Amino acid sequence: MRSRTLRLDEDIDPFAVGSASGLLWHHPDGTDPTLAGVGEACRIPIERPHGAEQAQRSLALLAGDANSAGSSNETGGLDGPGTGPVAFTSLPFDRSKAGELIVPEIVLAVGPHGRRWLTITDDGTLTQSEAVDRLHTVAHEASTNTGDPQPTRYEVVAQLPPEVWRDKIVGPATERLKAGELDKLVLARRVTVTADHPIDVPLVLSRLRGRFPTAILYSVDGYVGASPELLVGRYGDVVRAHPLAGTAPRSADLAVDGRLAAELFASDKNRWEHRITIEWLLNGLLPFCSYVDAEPEPSIVSLANVHHLGTKVEGRLSSPAPSVLELTAALHPTPAVGGDPQSTALAMIEELEQMERGRYAGPVGWVDGAGNGAMAVGIRSAEIDGNQAKVTAGNGIVADSDPVSELAETRHKFQVMLGALIQP
């Protein structure tokens, strides 16, 4: 089995293909290709937390001799991030739990400047024209009403009553933070949505795209979301991240909305929470970099439902550059989804949260055979299986957090996925 990357002249929408096939990465800021996968060539296990290098080597082997075959028609003269063998992944939050790389049989890619290509991973029997026909078929199915009934009734059930989460989990956690056990703790809660018919994943993604046009949209093995946060991206020797920490609700009243954003920017509590994450991430990247730096001040990142504090980070990787999988292993989980100090926070999450996070807040994204790729933080997400979806939201808790406000914040965050899942 090997991978072949070929130039594509036809205009096929990767968003339509990926939303229908269940393998999609769409980062609208222009740094990444949009990627859609069809079929499944193989799955490569990732043993965690120390299996990133082995998984990367296994993926790289799929390049075979395709790029040295001496035929310009074999590779189309294409190289760079997203060419050669490409895999999608969505890893569990618990970094001791194994994950997988999913290598599609066909990957459709559209680069930042409109350049298009496809990669075929198989035994060499699938032709380019056959692959293109399959992509057209999947895209057509995504845009065609199949006649399947759409959900009309929904039941939303919290795993824990909201007041229990507020008073029995967040309340005691703030007391322990005040006592100095740790600086920050992220606590999450979950609701389950059950519909009367299977949930239409392409429709969910379309709604997310319409409402959150600046978010990273992803769909991997039933895990679907619109994340505002890039955990890490690796492009050759360039590394980028865009961590978020600190949140405020939005308002339809422009004056109120502006005041809420200004209060978030000036909030000592939120600035402190944000600074913990930035310093932790810089310290995590520094061993891999000849240079790394962050913007001197955070900026307001405004989504349809909330404002966040965000800071862009960029650096140059030392040679040989680690793969995005290795960088992910070093950085996840950041204080934005776990807490600080990390070991204390993770132990307290296991003690207090009363649920298994699964893939919530885990890394989700893509990697190619050269180690390029990007991982989002798997938040604003749902694990969808048939007519059921598990939706999780979490908050950063510090010593002066107010449990009532923290509960309200989770409700704002739930609206991202609930609004996409439940038909108005």
Note whether residue 13 is domain-resident.
yes
Distance of CA 160 to the CA centre of its chain: 25
CATH number at residue 406: 3.60.120.10
The predicted structure's pLDDT at residue 74: 43
Indicate if 67 and 121 belong to the same structural domain: yes
pLDDT along the chain (424 residues), means of 10: 93 95 93 95 94 95 58 55 96 96 98 91 94 93 73 94 96 96 95 95 94 95 95 96 88 92 91 89 95 92 88 95 96 93 95 95 97 96 97 92 93 92 82
Note whether residue 94 is domain-resident.
yes
342, 335 contact by CB (below 8 A): yes
Torsion angle of alpha carbons 315, 319, 320, 323, nearest 10°? 0
Indicate if 196 and 85 belong to the same structural domain: no
Residues with a known catalytic role: 184, 229
Domain edge (last residue) among 143, 166, 181: 143
The predicted structure's pLDDT at residue 424: 66
Number of domains into which the chain is organized: 2
Q: What's the token pair of residue 100?
A: 């997988």
Note whether residue 271 is domain-resident.
yes
Closest to 342 (Cα-Cα) out of 354, 330, 352, 353: 330
Q: Provide the domain limits for residue 405.
A: 154-200+244-362+372-421
Closest to 395 (Cα-Cα) out of 339, 317, 354: 339
Q: Which residues, at least 6 apart from 418, have a Cβ–Cβ distance to it below 8 Å?
A: 156, 191, 193, 391
Domain edge (last residue) among 118, 143, 168: 143
On the 0-12 / 13-18 / 19+ scale of CB atoms within 10 A, 402 is middle
Note whether residue 29 is domain-resident.
yes
Indicate if 271 and 132 belong to the same structural domain: no
Report the run of H or E that residue 330 belongs to, with start and end.
helix 324-331
Indicate if 68 and 185 belong to the same structural domain: no
Indicate if 303 and 173 belong to the same structural domain: yes
Indicate if 134 and 263 belong to the same structural domain: no
CA distance 209 to 195: 22
Q: How far are the Cα atoms of 3, 87, 184, 269, 373 from residue 56, in angstroms, in the given order?
A: 15, 10, 33, 40, 11
Note whether residue 121 is domain-resident.
yes
Indicate if 303 and 392 belong to the same structural domain: yes
Q: What is the pTM of this model?
A: 0.92
Note whether residue 216 is domain-resident.
no
CA distance 224 to 360: 10
